[in-house]
């Protein structure tokens, strides 16, 4: 079944056991509920010691999110190390933009899946995508140059507009923390991208004026001096 068709089917069924809600930009997702993201971007977030929000993992439309605590409460954890680590987690999912979702009580969601196992594919898809993103990020951090990692991130998040736009929530600080870079390094890379004509500023918005050039830096076929 094509992904779009399958996603529409998931949405139709989840509406039967949940309610459609909008989480305003900057708002938290209730950890007791599971959410299916219809529109917007959310992120697994942690507050640093100086009170800044730092994002670790981003969520896009079509993904199931915030299901970790309900699943563990229902199924438990086998590893003592995992139990200890889970007890110390203080991360929260926050809306990076206004997010339209289907909100489902965690227990109701798991009961529904147990009675309708064919819909476990949605949970597996979300788990797999999260794992792929974590693995890709970990690999990029240790193996690729800073400019490549920044340009790959911009490619991943730029809009489908013509020309593409970079979301405003991707600040230098946000990018630096996410990619384990110093904010000065990110600032220098953005300056070099502007001087190369690859991006430009229009008011508060960053525009990608040369998507092909951004692609070449992201895949390592073009060098960016910063």
**CATH code for the domain of 36:** 2.60.120.10
- Shared-domain flag, residues 46 and 123: yes
Residue 2 has pLDDT above 80, yes or no: no
Of the candidate ranges 24-28, 137-141, 205-209, the one whose mean pLDDT is the lowest: 137-141
**CATH number, domain with residue 165:** 1.10.10.10
Residue 68 counted as domain residue: yes
pTM of structure: 0.81
Angstrom CA distances, 50 to 46, 54, 55, 106, stand at 11, 11, 15, 32
36: containing domain: 3-130
Q: Tell which of 106, 130, 154 closes a domain.
A: 130
Residues 44 and 152 in one domain: no
**Mean of pLDDT values over 15-41:** 93
Q: Is pLDDT at 84 greater than 70 in this prediction?
A: yes
Residues 148 and 101 reside in one and the same domain: no
223 in any annotated domain: no
Q: Which residue has the higher pLDDT, 131 or 29?
A: 29
Is residue 20 predicted with pLDDT exceeding 80?
yes
Q: What is the pLDDT of residues 149-205, one digit of tens each?
A: 999 999 999 999 889 999 999 999 999 989 989 999 999 999 999 999 999 999 989
How many domains does the structure of the chain reveal?
Answer: 2
Q: What is the pLDDT of residue 87?
A: 74
Final residue of a domain: which of 107, 130, 153? Answer: 130
Residue 226, domain member (yes or no): no
pLDDT-based confidence at 3, cuts 50/70/90? very low
- The answer on 155 and 86 residing in a single domain is no
């Amino acid at each position: 079944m094509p992904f779009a068709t399958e996603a529409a089917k998931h949405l139709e069924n989840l509406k039967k056991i949940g309610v459609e809600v909008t989480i305003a930009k900057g708002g938290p997702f209730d950890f007791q509920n599971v959410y299916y993201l219809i529109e917007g971007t959310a992120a697994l977030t942690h507050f640093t010691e100086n009170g800044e929000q730092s994002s670790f993992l981003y969520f896009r439309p079509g993904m199931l999110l915030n299901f970790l605590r309900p699943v563990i409460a229902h199924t438990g954890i086998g590893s003592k190390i995992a139990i200890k680590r889970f007890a110390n987690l203080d991360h929260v999912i926050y809306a990076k933009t206004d997010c339209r979702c289907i909100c489902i009580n965690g227990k109701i969601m798991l009961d529904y899946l147990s009675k309708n196992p064919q819909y476990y594919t949605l949970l597996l898809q979300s788990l797999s995508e999260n794992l792929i993103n974590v693995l890709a990020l970990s690999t990029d951090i240790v193996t690729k140059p800073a400019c490549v990692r920044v340009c790959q991130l911009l490619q991943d998040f730029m809009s489908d507009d013509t020309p593409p736009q970079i979301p405003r929530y991707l600040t230098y600080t946000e990018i630096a923390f996410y990619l384990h870079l110093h904010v000065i390094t990110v600032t220098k890379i953005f300056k070099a991208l502007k001087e190369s004509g690859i991006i430009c500023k229009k008011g508060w918005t960053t525009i990608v004026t040369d998507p092909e050039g951004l692609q070449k830096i992201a895949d390592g076929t073009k060098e960016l001096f910063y």
